[in-house]
Structure 1
Amino acid sequence: MRGRLLRFSCLVMSVLLGGISFSPQASAKEPKLESSDVMIPSGDTGIELFVRNKHLAGRESSPDKILIFVHGATYPAETAFDLPIEGVSMMDLIAMRGYDVYLVDVRGYGRSTRPVEMSQPPEANKPIVSTKVAAHDLGAAVDYILKKRKVTRST
């Protein structure tokens, strides 16, 4: 499963980035983007997740053009995908191609709620955000996006 997901992610990135100009100068003809930040419930008491959305201003993408970024175990999603380099981020580039782009921080990262264990000495707790917990948080973000966009989960 992990191998298929990795191959799919690489395929998505190569398709999305094909033909994108990484020109540092913004053009007056470039489309305008809308951006919004929300905190959503994780499904666990006291834990909220940070979700950012960017898309072309005044337009909604088709359901097959929704993309969600989730970070790895080191940096939050904002610094990985929405950090402007010479004025434009990876998230911006993909949104300008007509995609409805989201990013999510799992608990304990970025702007998402920090579990109470994070205020205790590290030796007092086992690792806090396991793969299972991160997958749960990603699932909460996916459910939020599907409901917001009125899209059904495909198989």
Structure 2
Amino acid sequence: MAVEEQDFRVFNGEGELYLRRLSKALGEDKLKTVLFLHGAFLPSSICFDPSLEGYSWARHLALEGFDVYLLDFRGFGLSYKPHRHQPVCTVDNALADVRAAVEYILAKSKTSAVSLIGWSWGACIAGLFAGKYPHLVERVHLHAPIFERRDELAEKLEREVLRSRRDGYVGVALSELRKWLGGVEDRVLSSLISTMSTGEVTYLPLGPWLSMYELFKSGEPIFSPKDIRCPVFITRGEEDLVVSRDGVVKLFRLIPISQKQLVLVQGGGHFMHLEEEKNRLKLYRLSSFFLCEDFKW
């Protein structure tokens, strides 16, 4: 059965955010309402729903009966692009964007809460939102959440990314982007990159990169796991070079509730949802299992 797609524009008080909805049958009851939150590299409309067949985590869930939404944060993808000297899409900005999207979704779907799936920096925003607005979040899946000090990554960001600031954005050479996207097949890389820029450099919001740099340098987390009260699922690929095993184990132990699970997926990297089939399908299926009503803790 085909997945139906709808596009929405959501006002966050400053500009219009892009929100995509994917559903197997728009008029039927759904298993759960799910909102995807992306990281610093790729907007949700690209990284969770690429045009390549079989690589869409979002469509996989929609085909299983979930009511799926994807948000592009301000400055990313199909959302509006603020023009300012200050960093675009700070943590506070992203939190406001999620709040606007969730309120829009809840009003439209007539449900009382959503489940969040956040990846990388987006997992930090998902954790922050879940802690700050517990009444709006049913469950949260944190995939490859960034949580610990990593001096070598702070130096890498400073050397390869942050030196190329332009107002509220940062210029990332597509050749460098390919290095960061290690583990993703060349044809997939080419498809993703072609949707981002036709030149040699793509400009991305500075906010996520700055907050990651500060975290990697200081070890001060973006969100407090002790504030989360809903069921939590954490996943990390064993070959992830950005998020360490010790980091996710530490995060898991700091979450105060008993309704939590941590799964370390053999073979997967930081971009596991876009990697070879056996890796990404493991992740898709684990996510679906966690989100289902009959999940046994």
Q: What one-letter code is carried by the residue in structure 2 that aligns with 1:92?
A: R
Whether the 8 Å CA contact 2:18–2:71 is kept in 1: the answer is yes
- Relative distance call for 1:75 and 1:34 in structure 2 (3 A) is same
Residues in 2 aligned to 1:149 and 1:74: alpha-carbon distance in whole angstroms:
29
Whether the 8 Å CA contact 2:74–2:88 is kept in 1: the answer is no
Residues in 2 aligned to 1:32 and 1:77: alpha-carbon distance in whole angstroms:
20
- Report what 2:71 is aligned to: 104
Larger Rg: 2
Task: Give the Å deviation of 1:85.
Answer: 3.0
What is the Cα-based RMSD across aligned positions, in Å?
1.8
Whether the 8 Å CA contact 1:67–1:100 is kept in 2: the answer is yes
Q: TM-score, normalised by structure 2?
A: 0.37
Moved segments of 4+, more than 4 Å = none
Q: Percent identity?
A: 37
Count of residues in correspondence between the two structures: 115
- Report what 1:51 is aligned to: 19
- Report what 1:86 is aligned to: 53
Establish whether residue 69 from structure 1 lines up as the match of residue 36 from structure 2: yes
Residues in 2 aligned to 1:60 and 1:41: alpha-carbon distance in whole angstroms:
27
Gaps of 5+ in 2: 114-133, 136-297
- Report what 2:4 is aligned to: 34
- Report what 1:127 is aligned to: 87
Residues 18-70 of structure 1, C-alpha deviation per residue, up to 9 Å, x if partnerless?
Answer: xxxxxxxxxxxxx22110011111122xx1000000001254344x6110011
Greater relative contact order (Cα < 8 A, sep 6+)? 1
Q: TM-score, normalised by structure 1?
A: 0.68
Give 3-state SS (helix, strand or coil) of 2:99's partner: helix
Give 3-state SS (helix, strand or coil) of 2:53's partner: coil
Residues in 1 aligned to 2:46 and 2:88: alpha-carbon distance in whole angstroms:
21
